[in-house]
Chains A and B, each alone.
Chain A
């Protein structure tokens, strides 16, 4: 993600901002301009709640660039309490294994630390809660 794209998606990555169709009330994440159900374009800003559960996940052992220190880590799909599914990193705690259905809470973390001179990218990750 370049600097410009990173900046454009700040709001959705920082605040979990999505869209709500004012007509049929369908929720969307990430942001989209038209409702896929009723094709209406009267979408309003919607900030998602931070609670959800793990739907599926996979363990990443080989790190792409900028993620070397994070391996091994888990990436997966989380279903938010509002029913919308999002993909994100799922934070591990060394101490116990992740399971499908585990409740999570979205927390603010460093997503990517590229080369020394690059920008730091922040956003949400899912943190399993007891």
Chain B
């Protein structure tokens, strides 16, 4: 956008040679960081306990193992550690963060925001706004939209959006094979941007595919209903709506990340959209850390940014049950090379794994009743 200021003379009218042009710089991602707990339990180990065929299940969902938080890790600690990585990566002073939003469906408290703990633990308090957000697995990208809006309106200099979850699946339920843990933090602003935000678009309807009632420990889901009318319809509509809005074609994107409740759904969505698998492959973290819910599409996106070259266009589409999808298009800048390797990559975290058997996994996830 160009802002033009014209000089004015009473005798000669507008003067051309006093034309001042200030070009508003684009907004985008200034830094990002992830955190994934070190522990893993394999699909085969979970299947062994429930007398299922682990090999068949693992192949069916295209997931080999999932990340399990330590006993003293939760959504707040994962958020803080991801946020600290993002701040190191961005190179900003945390006191310049004007907004922090944490999107999750596993906030430690029912009442008392996770975002304030993050704000305090990264040194951003007290001069900022913050809130916890909830929209199944897309609350993190909803935070990105809010931060982008505040930055664009010049209300804040930098804003931080976090998608994070310590997902819980009822023991023996299909969700137990995939319910993982992890977080991704994204800082947006105008200066030293590593990926420019080209545009965003959302697709939202009331669709009851997955829910958890207040006070219930584990979520419920509508089985097969989670596929076509829900995940695929929203993910594809958001992706196509964004392309339509920006005048882009599928082939204009070099890398994509979709929400990944399992290893199959994002592959099918890519296929239906006509996106070759190699553009999605690097984002499919679900295969080795499970479904990280609010963090899933964002960690996949971070994995793409870890590898992206300047000039590449990256598509991010989240999906949250209930249901909605947020789509974003980013164009990677030269600055990404400058900031690379400042903090741990997605691969660094996925690589460092400590396997657990089902008994230790159950202890970690508080599935053992003590009273």
Contact = CB atoms under 8 A, between A and B. Distances in A.
B73 A109 contact: yes
Contacts of B84: 108
Interface of B: 38, 70-74, 76-77, 80-81, 84, 108-109, 117, 120-121, 123, 354, 360, 363, 366, 368, 370
Interface of A is mostly: mixed
Given A91-B72, A94-B360, 9 more contacts: A14-B120, A15-B123, A70-B71, A93-B38, A108-B77, A108-B121, A110-B74, A120-B109, A122-B121
A69 interface: yes
B38 to A, nearest CB: 7
23 contacts: A14-B80, A14-B120, A15-B120, A15-B121, A15-B123, A69-B366, A69-B368, A69-B370, A70-B72, A93-B38, A95-B354, A108-B80, A109-B70, A109-B73, A110-B74, A110-B76, A110-B77, A111-B72, A120-B109, A122-B76, A122-B77, A122-B80, A125-B72
A120 B117 CA distance: 11
Interface of A: 10-11, 14-15, 47, 68-70, 91, 93-95, 107-111, 120, 122, 125
Contact of B72 (A47, A94, A109): A109
Contacts of B70: 91, 109
Contact of A69 (B77, B117, B363): B363
Contacts of B80: 14, 108, 122
B46 to A, nearest CB: 19
Contact of A94 (B73, B77, B108, B354): B354
Contacts of A14: 80, 117, 120-121
Contacts of B73: 109-110
A122 B71 contact: no
Nearest to B79: A108
A111 B81 CA distance: 15
Contact of A11 (B74, B76, B81, B120): B120
A69 B71 contact: yes
B181 to A, nearest CB: 13
A64 to B, nearest CB: 15
A122 B120 CA distance: 11
